[in-house]
Amino acid sequence: MSGELLRAEGIGKHFGGFVALEGITMSFAAGQLTSIIGPNGAGKSTFFNILSGALTPTSGKLHFRGRELNGLPQHRFVHQGISRSYQITNIFPDLSVHENVRVAAQALTVSYDIWRNRARLTELIARADTALEAVGLLAKRGELAKFLSHGQQRALEIAIALVSEPELLLLDEPTAGMGPEETKDMVALLERLAEKRTVLLVEHKMKMVLGLSKRVVVLHHGRLLADGAPDEIRSNPEVRRVYLGQSEGYG
């Protein structure tokens, strides 16, 4: 499917008197990697939380594949085809690596079934393994998730989001807290993911974003500052002033 996948119309979010987001209108096409950047407090995470249903916008509308998402509870977003990862590692620490992904895979089919044996649902088991293979964690499938390294936990987080075969994958700073080696692996993984599906990325590491994305959206103080191809963003004087100048050489 090509064309428009997700459209945000005048999205705003207020926390009491504080305006976190104001009048964000943009459209995301299917099948490309878009990055959202901006200094701390720009509203990136708020925007992300709205896109994944964790927050309800104060104003504006969200359309996904032509369907309005407003008012949908968060757990229904995955069922619509939107899946996310978190900035701070958010996994099931005391479950095995494989079970972390398998339990996410079954959400779309057999959540409330108490009569079948989950060890016999081989299709789900296989799907979880496919997702683990995609992020390079298949060898660790039997270990408890809490014993993985930080980088591996970040990859596991992506596998959890990936296993529902989302049409839109939202990744919130997948390289947060990673060293250079781990970041390199993650970038390679993101490149592979972007080949097949629509990915929306929130990132801090500037160079990485510009190299990776087809399109970059810049937020600043809750408003849309710039939106375009990486080259346009790089040469945009406004963006250079608020963001690039201060983080040159960052990441």
Residues of this chain that bind another protein (CB under 8 A): 52, 54, 73-79, 83-84, 86, 90-96, 98-99, 102-104, 106-108, 110-119, 121-123, 125-127, 129-130, 141-142, 160, 164
Which of 100/213 has CB closer to another protein? 100
Distance of closest approach, residue 57 Cβ to another protein, in angstroms:
18
Tokens of 170: 């939202």
CA dihedral 85, 88, 91, 92 (to 10 degrees): -150
Residues contacting residue 80 through CB under 8 Å, at least 6 positions apart: 64, 65, 67, 69, 72
Q: How much is the CA Rg of the chain, to the nearest whole Å?
A: 18
CA distance 248 to 207: 9
Which of 29/144 has CB closer to another protein? 144
Distance of closest approach, residue 44 Cβ to another protein, in angstroms:
17
Which of 86/243 has CB closer to another protein? 86
Distance of closest approach, residue 84 Cβ to another protein, in angstroms:
6
Distance of closest approach, residue 176 Cβ to another protein, in angstroms:
16
What number of other Cβ atoms are within 10 A of residue 70's Cβ? 12
Which of 1/114 has CB closer to another protein? 114
Distance of closest approach, residue 215 Cβ to another protein, in angstroms:
25
SS3 12: strand
Give me the sheet containing 59-64, strands edge to edge: 18-29, 4-15, 59-64, 67-68
Which of 22/172 has CB closer to another protein? 172
